[in-house]
Structure 1
Amino acid sequence: MTRLLLPLEHDPHTAEQHGEDALLHALKRLPRRVQQVLLLNRLDQLGFAEIATRLDLPLVSIERHMNQALQTTRQPGDALAASAGHWYVRLQSPQVTASERIDFRRWLDAKPEHLHAFHDTELRWRSLLAPARQLGHDGWYRQGRAALSLGGCSIAIGLGLAALAALGLLA
């Protein structure tokens, strides 16, 4: 009788690749606008204000999109990681106030778990770089606002034409 034995050692590169694949899959499930904001920030290193100007969006939308992208990296139901993620994104905003920075410092100093969660958030943020490169490899995210909405417009036009044809108005 032959037995197949699995190696006891495991390749850390394989585990790392699996993690990156899972992150890439999670990023692909995000709305296209969220992907675009993330890629402009991570790959082109644009700040929130620059992204807001480029996409003609309010800064609060940029923050919301960045937070949504960062939250894809945390475990569901981890409230502490969610709070750390909110702080991480908020502190990058040009609209953050001195009062908010003081509140963050108080939150960070309140419990050792907060510091640990914030540190984990920074590591998760860094872990997004490789999947972001894969997601934006062809530069699609550099297109303007109109380029992203063309897909929706063409669907709407197609449905409109189909409705007109069904009604017999397009003969």
Structure 2
Amino acid sequence: MTRLLLPLEHDPRTAERHDEDALLHALRRLPRRVQQVFLLNRLDQLGFAAIAARLDLPLISIERHMNQALQAARAPGDALASIAGQWYVRLQSPQVTASERIDFRRWLDANPDHLRAFHDTELRWRSLLAPARQLGHDGWYRQGRAALSLGGCSIAIGLGVAALVALGLLA
């Protein structure tokens, strides 16, 4: 008689937890600023313009960071999912034009796979809520620029010291 290593029936919650852990891991690998922009949008439900104003960043940077966060959750090498993700983020931007909306509609209607990829992107976006809550559980992302790592500060201090040395040598 042989023993089974795994139970015959799997608890679906275990697979769901594994997926959430994988998404959380993917989000944690993102740069801190990308995480911050993503969490401000996903958890605090701030729009792109509000995030840009709060962090003093151009809208295009917010859009790029959001795209990076969404792309981190997709399967690597899936070009169609990548395009659908770019459309998903672009359509949320306050700078999206009527012409771009028409282009999106044409892209969506061009192939049933496009609609499926866009729908999967929306589902992926929803699946990021639980990992986002874990990532931002302590509210670090609300602290503005101070929430970023000290790496940027040390670079600024180093540049300041270098400038003082250069000015001291020139004066």
TM-score using structure 1 length:
0.87
Q: Percent identity?
A: 87
What's the counterpart of residue 104 of structure 1? 104
Q: Deviations over 1:17-71 (max 9, x none)?
A: 0000000001000000000000000000000000000000000000000000000
Runs of 4+ deviating beyond 4 Å: 154-158
Q: Extract unaligned runs of 5+ from structure 2.
A: 162-171
| 1:16-55 paired onto structure 2 within 5 Å | 16-55=16-55
| 1:117-156 paired onto structure 2 within 5 Å | 117-148=117-148, 150-154=150-154
What's the counterpart of residue 169 of structure 1? none
| 1:10-89 paired onto structure 2 within 5 Å | 10-89=10-89
2:56, 2:157 → 1: CA distance? 24
1:79, 1:19 → 2: CA distance? 21
RMSD: 1.9
The one-letter code matched in structure 2 to 1:91 is L
C-alpha deviation, 1:144, in angstroms: 1.2
The one-letter code matched in structure 1 to 2:62 is I
Q: Deviations over 1:101-159 (max 9, x none)?
A: 0000000000000000000000000010000000000000001124425443247759x
Range with greater deviation from structure 2 (137-146 or 57-66):
137-146
The one-letter code matched in structure 2 to 1:13 is R
TM-score using structure 2 length:
0.87
What's the counterpart of residue 114 of structure 2? 114
